[in-house]
Amino acid sequence: MGSDLASNRFSIDPRDRSQTRPAMSFVEYSEFIQEGDIAIIFLGHDSMMPVKVQQGAQTQTRYGVIRHSKDLIGQRFGTKVTCSKGGWVYVLHPTPELWTLNLPHRTQILYTTDIANITMMLELKPGSVVCESGTGSGSLSHAILRTIAPTGHLHTVEFHQQRAEKAAEEFREHRVGHLVTVRNQDVCKEGFGVTGVADAVFLDIPSPWEAVKHAKNAMKRQGGRVCSFSPCIEQVQKTVEALADEGFQEISTLEVLLRVHDVRTITLPLPDFGSDQPLETPTDTPVPSNASVLCKTTTPPRDMAGHTGYLTFATKPSV
Partner 1 sequence: MADNGDNDSQHRVNEGDYVVLKRGDIYKAVQIQKKKKTVFEKQWFFLDNAVGELYGTTFEVVTGGTLQPRKPKLVESSADAKEAGTDNRNILDDGKSQKLTRDDIETLKEQGLKGQEIVQQLIENSTTFRDKTEFAQEKYIKKKKKKYENSVMVLRPSCRVMAMMYHGREPGKICHLRYDTLAQMLTLGNIHAGSKVLVFETCAGLVLGAVMERMGGYGSVVQMYPGGGPVRAGMESFGFPSHFHDTLHEFPICHVNALLAGALDTEAKDIDADSGQANGDKSNLTQTGPEKAESKECSPDTKDQCMETSTSTDPAADKEREEREKLREIRGQERKVKMEEKRKKLAAAAAVLEGRNADGLVIASRFHPCPVLLGLIKFLAPSRPFVVYSQYKEPLIECYTKLKEQGGAVSLRLTDSWIRHYQVLPNRTHPMLLMSGGGGYLLSGTTVATDTPKMGSTRGEEPAAKRLKLTETTEG
Scanning residues 264 to 283, which ones bind partner 1 (CB under 8 A)?
Answer: 264-265
Cβ closest to partner 1, residue 134 vs residue 224: 224
Contact between 206 and 31 under an 8 Å Cβ cutoff? The reply is no
Contact between 180 and 156 under an 8 Å Cβ cutoff? The reply is yes
* Three-state DSSP state, 113: helix
**C-beta of 157: minimal distance to partner 1 in Å?**
15
Consult the annotation and say whether 133 binds a ligand: no
Binding residues for partner 1 restricted to 219-238, rule: CB under 8 A:
220-223, 233, 236-237
Cβ closest to partner 1, residue 96 vs residue 177: 96
Binding residues for partner 1 restricted to 129-158, rule: CB under 8 A:
143, 146-147, 149-151
CA end-to-end distance (rounded Å), the chain: 40
Contact between 231 and 252 under an 8 Å Cβ cutoff? The reply is no
Consult the annotation and say whether 203 binds a ligand: no
What whole-number distance in Å separates Cα of residue 179 and Cα of residue 169?
A: 13
Consult the annotation and say whether 5 binds a ligand: no
Binding residues for partner 1 restricted to 156-175, rule: CB under 8 A:
none
Q: What value does the CA radius of gyration of the chain take, rounded to a whole number of Å?
A: 26
245 sits near partner 1 (criterion: CB under 8 A):
no
Question: What x/- string results for residues 28 through 67 when contact with partner 1 is judged by CB under 8 A?
Answer: xx-x----------x-xx-----------------x----
Q: Which residues contact 69 (CB under 8 A, 6 or more apart)?
A: 55, 56, 57
Binding residues for partner 1 restricted to 11-30, rule: CB under 8 A:
27-29
The gap from C-alpha 215 to its chain's centroid, in whole angstroms, comes to 23
Question: What x/- string results for residues 75 through 104 when contact with partner 1 is judged by CB under 8 A?
Answer: -xxxxx-x--xxxx-xxxx-xxx-------
Entry field: residues in the chain: 319
What whole-number distance in Å separates Cα of residue 133 and Cα of residue 208?
A: 9
**C-beta of 288: minimal distance to partner 1 in Å?**
25
The residue within the footprint of partner 1, chosen from 65, 232, 258, 270 (CB under 8 A), is: 258
The residue within the footprint of partner 1, chosen from 59, 61, 119, 137 (CB under 8 A), is: 119
The residue within the footprint of partner 1, chosen from 9, 106, 125, 172 (CB under 8 A), is: 125
Cβ closest to partner 1, residue 95 vs residue 160: 95
Query: What Cα–Cα distance (Å) separates residue 165 from each residue in 1, 7, 94, 106, 196?
Result: 8, 13, 22, 12, 26
Contact between 173 and 165 under an 8 Å Cβ cutoff? The reply is no
Q: Which residues are bridge partners to 153 per DSSP?
A: 129
Please report, in range form, the residues annotated as the binding site for S-adenosyl-L-methionine.
137-140, 158, 186, 204
